[in-house]
Amino acid sequence: MDLVDYDLPVAPYVQVARQVQAMIESGEIPAGGKIPSESRIVQETGVARSTARRAVRLLRDEGLVVTAPGFGSYARHLPGDAT
């Protein structure tokens, strides 16, 4: 994952969400695969934990991930996936 650019007109949590989305869409994170944890997002992007949490919530609200409390968040099958 890349560091967040605070000079962009895009909110940091949206930048993080789009990075994870790109990982899902490219197949780097397959359907059913675990996305980076909030702790890992914080370490790799330099954002606050609340920002990481908000990014995951955005992905969940958009239907790209599903969260299993206590286990993490996982990529959902996307429309058009052969899996």
In a domain, 82, yes or no: no
**pLDDT score, position 20:** 97
* DSSP-based three-state secondary structure for 33: coil
CATH of the domain at 71: 1.10.10.10
**pLDDT score, position 79:** 65
Based on the structure, what is the number of domains in the chain?
1
In a domain, 2, yes or no: no
Determine the straight-line distance between the first and last CA of the chain, rounded to whole angstroms. 25
Domain region containing 54:
12-75
Nearest to 38 by CA among 7, 61, 16, 8: 16
Tell whether the model's pLDDT for residue 81 goes beyond 90. no
Span 5-57, pLDDT tens digits:
999 999 999 999 999 999 999 999 999 999 999 999 999 999 999 999 999 99
In a domain, 31, yes or no: yes
**pLDDT score, position 74:** 98
Partnered with residue 65 across adjacent β-strands are: 75
In a domain, 63, yes or no: yes
d(CA 25, CA 71): 22
pLDDT band, residue 77 (cuts 50/70/90): confident
Tell whether the model's pLDDT for residue 82 goes beyond 90. no
Nearest to 45 by CA among 26, 29, 23: 23
In a domain, 6, yes or no: no
